Amino acid sequence: MDIRYSCNQRDFKRYTTEETRGEFLIENLFVEDQVQAVYSHVDRMVTLGVMPVREKVSIDKGIDIWKNFGTEYFLERRECGMFNVGGEGRVIVDGVVYTMEYKDCLYITKGAREVLFESENAAQPAKFYIVSAPAHCSYENKLIKIADAAKKPLGALETSNKRVINQFIHPSVLKTCQLSMGMTVLEPGSVWNTMPAHTHERRMEVYFYFEVPENNVVFHMMGEGRETRHIVMQNEQAVISPSWSIHAGAGTSNYTFIWAMGGENQTFDDMDTIPTTELR
C-alpha cells in the first residue's frame, strides 16, 4: 500500500511538478490480478483499483491490513463504494454475488468481512475502481445501476461545461456513514468539469478520470484560488484533492470522471465558489 501524508497549502506553494504529482496523482490503478491501494492521510481515504483476469481476487490481497489499519479485516471500521469501468464482472460480499456491468456502482457497508472480485471474460476484464472512508455505523449493501442514479444536468455548450452529474452514493439514493460518490459525464464539445472553481472546506475529494480519448489529457487544477497549480492527467488516473484546494479541471476533449467525497457532511452543494476572475 502506498501511503501519502497530508500536505498543507503553505508548503504546497513551493512544490515542483514532480513533487505535486508524487503527492496527489494516483497512477497504475489496474494491474492484472492485483489490488493497487493508496492510503491518504487526508481524511484517511483509501483509493483502490482491482482488475481480476485469471483469479478471483480478494480485496485484502497485497494489503498489510493489520499494519496500516490496526484491524482484523479491511472493512471492519470502513465503508467503500466502487464502480466497474471495464468488462462485466462480479463482486462477492460475504457470499452474496453482485453482477456489475460497465458504470454500475456498488456500496459496501462497514463490517463486510470477505470481498472478492472476478471477471466474466478474461479477454475483457472488469476494472473495479474503489474508494473507502472510515465509518462508525453500518447500513445496507446496495448495487446501483446508472439508470437509478439521481441525475443533475448542469452547464451549457456555450460555456464548454454541459454535463450530467449522476449521484450514486448520495443521501438522495441511499444512506451511508460519510462516503459520497458519483459520476459526471461531459457532453461532446464540453471540457470543464466545473467552473467557477470551488473548494470544500468540510470535505476532501478524489477524482478518477476515464473515457479520456487516446492522445488527450485532462488538466486538473489544484491549489488555493489565488495560488493555482495543475496536474496533467491521462486516462484511468486518479487525484487526491484536499479541502483547501480548488476543485476544477479541463480536458483537451470531453471525458467522464468519478468523484468521491468524505468529511464533515454529505451536503453536495456545501461548497465555497470562487469567482473565475479572481483566480490566479
Domains of the chain with CATH codes: 2-278 (2.60.120.10)
pLDDT per position as a tens digit, 31-68:
999 999 999 999 999 999 999 999 999 999 876 655 67
Cis peptide before 242 (omega within 30 of 0): no
Share of the chain above pLDDT 70, in %: 96
CA angle at 163 for the pair 162 and 166, rounded to the nearest 5°: 165
Which residues make Cβ contacts (< 8 Å) with residue 257, sequence separation at least 6? 183, 184, 193, 207, 208, 209, 210, 218, 249
* CB-facing half-sphere around the CA of 13: CA atoms within 13 A: 8
Q: Are 155 and 162 in contact (CB under 8 A)?
A: yes
pLDDT per position as a tens digit, 240-274:
999 999 989 999 999 999 999 987 766 667 778 99
| 227-233/218-224 β-pairing | antiparallel
